[in-house]
A = this chain, B = another copy of it.
Amino acid sequence: MQDLRLCCVGDSFTAGAGDETALGWPGRVAAAAWPRGVAVTAYNLGVRRDTSADIRRRAEAEVLARLLATGGDAHAVVFCFGANDATFEDGLPRVPPEASRDNAVALLGWSAARWPTLLLGPPPVLHDAAQDARVAALGPVLAAVAAALEVPFLPLHGPLSASHAWRAGAARGDGVHPDAAGYAAMAALVEAWPAWRRLSGG
């Protein structure tokens, strides 16, 4: 077995909020890699309510504490952020798009200089059409940062907006976070992504 140490850095969609199986997408893609001969230790560093600015404050210390230790044949980092940047508070986004872009440059640049690094675009937030439109608009901004840094990028907003499992799960839950079936749909997109399969057994 190959020993892959993986940090999954993000917000509630990485923490798996609402998932009654407690797996989220990181647990699902980690478990799926074992039969391919890759023993994944998935460090879930998703924190509810975190914006890209919050993640930027903690990512370096948290990832270094996990990936610098002795052991492991391979190491990688997957980021997923942006949905909370687009939340309006007092009439302004918690993080404006230009700051989201700066945070993405800092996070991806730092990580990609050290380990294979991937970026997932933010999933939809279906409870609020205006916020969701801002999240959708942030996807291409983040994709451009990723492209400039040669970090593979996976858009999730479109596919999950069209996913019955995601929409139904969010509707049954708090309106934003899906249930296990919704996270399974998110994990299936990651599983089908060549950039992830190159890391986790083809």
Residues of chain A at the chain B interface (Cβ within 8 Å)? 5, 15-18, 20-23, 26-28, 30-31, 34, 39-44, 47-50, 54, 57-58, 61-62, 65-66, 69-71
Known: A20-B31, A47-B66; 17 extra A-B contacts, CB below 8 A, are A5-B48, A15-B41, A16-B41, A18-B39, A20-B34, A21-B27, A21-B31, A22-B28, A22-B40, A22-B42, A23-B23, A47-B65, A48-B66, A48-B69, A54-B65, A58-B61, A62-B62
Question: 29 A–B contact pairs at CB < 8 A?
Answer: A5-B48, A15-B41, A15-B43, A16-B41, A18-B39, A20-B34, A20-B39, A22-B23, A22-B26, A22-B28, A22-B40, A22-B42, A23-B23, A23-B27, A41-B48, A43-B44, A43-B47, A44-B44, A47-B65, A47-B66, A47-B69, A48-B66, A48-B69, A48-B71, A49-B69, A49-B71, A57-B65, A58-B62, A61-B61
Copies of this chain present? 2
A44 and B15 alpha carbons, distance in the complex (Å): 9
Closest-CB distance, A56 to chain B (whole angstroms): 12
- Inter-chain contact B65/A58, CB cutoff 8 Å: yes
Q: Considering only CB atoms, which chain B residue lies closest to A49 in the complex?
A: B69
